[in-house]
Structure 1
Amino acid sequence: MSYVVLARKYRPQTFADLTGQEHVSRTLQNAIDSGRVAHAFLFTGARGVGKTSSARILAKALNCEQGPSTEPCNVCHLCREITDGTSTDVFEIDGASNTGVDDVRELRDNSRYLPSHSRYKIYIIDEVHMLSTNAFNALLKILEEPPPHVKFIFATTEPHKVPITILSRCQRFDFKRISLARLMARLREISTVEGINISDSALAMIARKGDGSMRDTLSCFDQVLAFCGSTVADDDVATLVGVVDRRLLAELSAAVFAGDAQETLQGVRRVDAFGYNIRQFTQELIAHFRNLLIIRSVAKPEEILDLAEAELTELRQQAADQQPSDIQRRLTLLVQAESGMAQSSFPRLLLEMALLKMATLQPVLPIQPLIERLRQLEAGLPAAPRLSAAPSSAIAAPATPSRPSPRSRPEEPIAAPAAAAPVAAPGTGGTWERFVEFCRSQNPILGGALEHGSPVQYTQERIEIGFPEGSFHLSSMQDAENLARLRRLAADFAGQETTVSVTVIRSVEQERQPLSLAEKKSREQQERREAIRREVLENPVVTEAIRLLEGEIVEIKEL
């Protein structure tokens, strides 16, 4: 007798046998019990979760000699024919190979005839989304007004591809992915019946490989039994299934949390030596850190994580001493490394760099205690100068200390802004600063250019303005029209005719000439910045904040 694979041998034959789909079983049983069975059903969900099996069970429950009943007897000849696939009144059609409109028209024409010896003629169409548009259109009329002896059961993994006109004529049931615990429990039942000696950790690896699909899980279990026989070792399962050993993930994460760079890189070496795909291992490691983060972030992680009880206990122990913020920062580094592996030729290098950063990551200090401590320091130092005493300042992005002006001499103190050595006018005109301000009010462009000139000579009768050789302002002020405008403004300001001339200041002569207003403003701003910086650096509150946060001041910026 030929061997029957586990997925077929242990296929559910009653609603009670369905694993993880109790919401579907109860609804269908209640519909049968109350006589409210619809004429068309749509079963949707991932592969291998029980859609087609549920369709067969429903067909048996409706056509059973003892029914319609909430559970088929699986003994009468009608139930056995449906189980064996030989019933003349229950048709299982593959939508992928019967996509044409002619196939559906033939189905529609045959559905008008009464069933040969059953209660209902039932059509089960698997992968119904593969039908063509014309085939769907041919189904519409019979779905809207079906004969009383016909039931349709559609199954699909992609319900979004089914036209809305079909969906509106069906009762839709969404099948869920089966949880890891339910898959493990089912595998344990089968291994007990089959006499297989296997550990819970091996069952967890097989169930996790199934990814919520009972059929995929049983197919993987079949492969493991073919390789291992009646005694299954954990290492053999890990090798055969191709999943990363949970112990390796635990050891590597423990080395990261301990800050052991040597052991961390040794873990990567072991991963590479085992022949694991580096990117796949990184994804497993991301899932591992995600589990740790959820365990440290929520009160009931078992309701969120699809893990076995033993795995959950082990993760709880590992995450007990870690802060959620630290785990999250490390998880972010892993995700960034994994996303870069798709375009990189050095996935191992990316993983090693990420793990080294994770191992050397400094823990984040809680901000609230630091703020409270700074407040206490401020309260205990009433005589200390506060940042608000001068114009407000804050710590921001890098600043470069500006170089002193080439004209500044160390032995000469810089004059204050109010006494910036203006050349006083002998008449009623006033100082050079007032003259420039007057010109700016009358002609902003001309006044702006004068700010960059040095008052080589400034009297009521004569004004000589110097500009650096080759500068834009020199060529602008040497223009005949601009010079004429400047002479008129000087006469208006002094109340008499004034001689105005523009001269060239060569580089060797610059240090001997008076500063321009623009240079004075720049000097004043530099002096102000340095004064504020000295105040901030000498403030004990700021000094203590830098010590606590292990930071540094990179720029002082006035607010």
Structure 2
Amino acid sequence: EGRSIDVQEIDAASATGVQNVRDSIIDTIGISPARDRYKVFIIDEVHMLSTPAFNALLKTLEEPPPRVVFIMATTESHKLPDTILSRCQQFEFRTIAAAKIAERLRFIADAEKIKVTDDALREVARAGEGSMRDAQSAFDQVISFAGEKIEAADVEAALGIAGSELLARVMEGIAATRPADALAVVDDLVMRGHDLRNFCRDLLAHLRDPLVAKVSGEMGASLDSSGVDRKELARQAASFTESDLIRFFHSLTETENSLRTAAHPRYQLEVGLVKLMEMRRLAPLTELLARLDALEESLRTGTAPALPQRTPPASGGSSSGTSGKTSSSTRMPRAEAGGQAARLAPEEVPFEGVGGTPRTATAATAVTAAEPPALTLVPPAAPPEPEPERAPEPPSQIPAAPSSLIGQIKAALEKRRRMFLVTALDAAHRVGVEDGELYVEFPPDAKHLRDTLAKPEGIKNLREVCREILGHDIGVRISVKERGAQPDDMPLSKDDEARRDKQQLREMAEQHPAVQQVLHKFHGEIVDVKRVEPK
């Protein structure tokens, strides 16, 4: 009958104390085998023994009596003390393939004259998780529940596992981005009395197979899905990318872990599945980081970033009456004060830069209602002072320097790590371009900064930077404002200068094509601006 009085099995999960070890092992170890050559002690789940029990067992393991063999089984060998492991031979048992388990269960079913479908056997084999004993125990449970005629639905009801149809329903909801399916799936699970954490584990196992099929490119024996048609599995794999499936797996793993201590497992699972089905709408983190890197580089260089743009829908054109006055630098068109703010979409239009060279900027055009809501630009509370009107100049002559040119000069100097020149320009009373020269005017109390900027190295750096930005050479003129100036020309206070710089930075940010693309893409608004020093 497969029994022997010389073989003794001890369940360490229930007999964890030192007294249990003494009664079961130490007191009986001196008795010679009654029939067999060896006396065998099998300790199951040995890692559950307490530290005093291990200490009591250690002496026996150090000097075992002849004809005594200890077999210790565990699934967590790392929990065993090193003093125990060092005195044992370790044998790693491999799990049994689900196909082999199903084959053995078929043999048992035929011997017991039980009618069971192949799908039902595969479900039972998968529930065993590689253990023949656990699979046979699960099979006995199903037989007690369904009798001598068993189908896949009976296995799902008896063991509380998710069937292939329910798993396929979840995968379809993820592919079609239908979060409402998540609530329906959880409601179905609760009505059937299924264990929600077991469902998470089943879905994790099901997510593995599309990923394996996607990576390996074949439907081989490494797939573990039970009752899922290979064509259906291939269709599910084709609906996602490898990165999608990996993100789904990590998100579902977090949900499964949170269910262990959740006060309301149903709510936790519903939120987790909704998050899973909404995840396809989210851009991968690597893509967002690449976009931010491109935007950061464009802000430093002053050029439009090479970002993927949505194709703008056809629009009926904009009225010229709402464009308003324009200064020497191109500004975003704003809506009338009493009208509604226009919704924006990116569209490429020519833009005349400070050097007269055509550039590419992102302009705002009205879009149809089919577009998702985008950024609404609101005019600033305190608009910048209008620039004095000047007589038209020939195209070859350099226009007056807008705040964007000053920002580009400072950014270029920061890139060269000439921070002392940037500090000097920040303290200047006026900076502009006039008669083919870059003029920098300092207040009377900043002569030391004038001297710093007027050094040969400073003049050289300014000329090189202007040549890079404007495309041709330009002169540099540095002066100090006389003390007898009118009150309007007096140097600004530090607070006024800070407000002026803040306003200039905000204007630069609002007009920059890269910033406009970000605001439109993420439906955001500019809350604050600050200058970031290069590392």
Q: Is structure 2 residue 126 aligned with structure 1 residue 208?
A: yes
Cα distance in 1, alignment partners of residues 248 and 11 from structure 2: 47
Q: Is structure 2 residue 155 aligned with structure 1 residue 234?
A: no
Check conservation: 2:443, 2:491, Cα contact below 8 A.
no
The 1:317/1:189 distance shift into structure 2, 3 A limit, reads: farther
Post-superposition offset of 1:355: 4.0
The normalised TM-score by structure 1 is: 0.53
The 1:171/1:268 distance shift into structure 2, 3 A limit, reads: closer
Aligned residue among 155, 166, 170 for 2:72: 155
Post-superposition offset of 1:553: 8.0
**Corresponding residue of 1:85:** 4
SS of 1:99's equivalent in the other structure is helix
Letter in 2 for 1:92: Q
Post-superposition offset of 1:275: 3.0
Aligned residue among 79, 98, 115 for 1:180: 98
Aligned residue among 172, 176, 198 for 1:258: 176
Aligned residue among 223, 228, 235 for 1:317: 235
The 1:187/1:165 distance shift into structure 2, 3 A limit, reads: same
Cα distance in 2, alignment partners of residues 354 and 163 from structure 1: 39
The 1:387/1:187 distance shift into structure 2, 3 A limit, reads: farther
Residues 264-302 of structure 1: per-residue CA shift (max 9 Å, x gap) = 543343233323344443443343334333332334675
SS of 2:69's equivalent in the other structure is strand
Cα distance in 1, alignment partners of residues 53 and 28 from structure 2: 15
**Corresponding residue of 1:139:** 60
Alignment of 1:45-64 (within 5 A): none
Out of 409-418 and 270-279, give the one that drifted further: 409-418
Check conservation: 2:62, 2:87, Cα contact below 8 A.
no
Aligned residue among 105, 109, 130 for 2:30: 109
The 1:312/1:436 distance shift into structure 2, 3 A limit, reads: same
Alignment of 1:527-538 (within 5 A): 527=504, 530-531=507-508, 533-534=510-511, 536-537=512-513
SS of 1:126's equivalent in the other structure is strand
SS of 2:91's equivalent in the other structure is strand
Check conservation: 2:102, 2:122, Cα contact below 8 A.
yes
**Corresponding residue of 2:10:** 94
Post-superposition offset of 1:186: 1.0
Post-superposition offset of 1:250: 0.6
Q: Is structure 2 residue 47 aligned with structure 1 residue 126?
A: no
Q: Report the structure number with the largest CA radius of gyration.
A: 1
**Corresponding residue of 2:245:** 327
**Corresponding residue of 1:433:** 443
More helix by share: 1
Aligned residue among 496, 500, 507 for 1:519: 496
SS of 1:132's equivalent in the other structure is helix
Cα distance in 2, alignment partners of residues 376 and 237 from structure 1: 50
**Corresponding residue of 2:392:** none
The 1:389/1:335 distance shift into structure 2, 3 A limit, reads: farther
Residues 120-139 of structure 1: per-residue CA shift (max 9 Å, x gap) = 23333333844824532441
Aligned residue among 72, 89, 113 for 1:171: 89
Letter in 1 for 2:31: N
Check conservation: 1:125, 1:154, Cα contact below 8 A.
yes
The 1:436/1:375 distance shift into structure 2, 3 A limit, reads: closer
Cα distance in 1, alignment partners of residues 24 and 116 from structure 2: 48
Unaligned runs of 5+ in 1: 1-79, 422-430, 442-456, 466-510
Q: Is structure 2 residue 108 aligned with structure 1 residue 190?
A: yes
Check conservation: 1:183, 1:214, Cα contact below 8 A.
yes
Cα distance in 1, alignment partners of residues 45 and 250 from structure 2: 41
Cα distance in 2, alignment partners of residues 100 and 525 from structure 1: 77
The 1:101/1:552 distance shift into structure 2, 3 A limit, reads: closer
**Aligned-CA RMSD value:** 5.4
Cα distance in 1, alignment partners of residues 79 and 386 from structure 2: 82
Alignment of 1:463-474 (within 5 A): none
Post-superposition offset of 1:374: 5.0
The 1:199/1:152 distance shift into structure 2, 3 A limit, reads: same
Check conservation: 1:293, 1:324, Cα contact below 8 A.
yes
Check conservation: 1:181, 1:306, Cα contact below 8 A.
no
The 1:459/1:387 distance shift into structure 2, 3 A limit, reads: closer
**Corresponding residue of 1:52:** none
**Corresponding residue of 2:468:** none
Cα distance in 2, alignment partners of residues 405 and 354 from structure 1: 46
Aligned residue among 138, 142, 159 for 1:220: 138
The 1:386/1:103 distance shift into structure 2, 3 A limit, reads: farther
Unaligned runs of 5+ in 2: 295-304, 310-347, 363-374, 390-399, 403-424, 432-440, 452-480
Residues 314-372 of structure 1: per-residue CA shift (max 9 Å, x gap) = 422322232223333444444454455556555444544454454453386997xx99x
The 1:252/1:110 distance shift into structure 2, 3 A limit, reads: closer
Alignment of 1:389-538 (within 5 A): 403=380, 420=430, 433-437=443-447, 459=483, 515-516=492-493, 518-520=495-497, 522-524=499-501, 526-527=503-504, 530-531=507-508, 533-534=510-511, 536-537=512-513
SS of 1:202's equivalent in the other structure is helix
Cα distance in 2, alignment partners of residues 173 and 142 from structure 1: 21
The normalised TM-score by structure 2 is: 0.55
Give the fraction of aligned pairs with identical amino acids, expressed as a percent: 27
**Corresponding residue of 2:205:** 287
SS of 2:500's equivalent in the other structure is helix
**Corresponding residue of 2:478:** none
SS of 2:94's equivalent in the other structure is coil
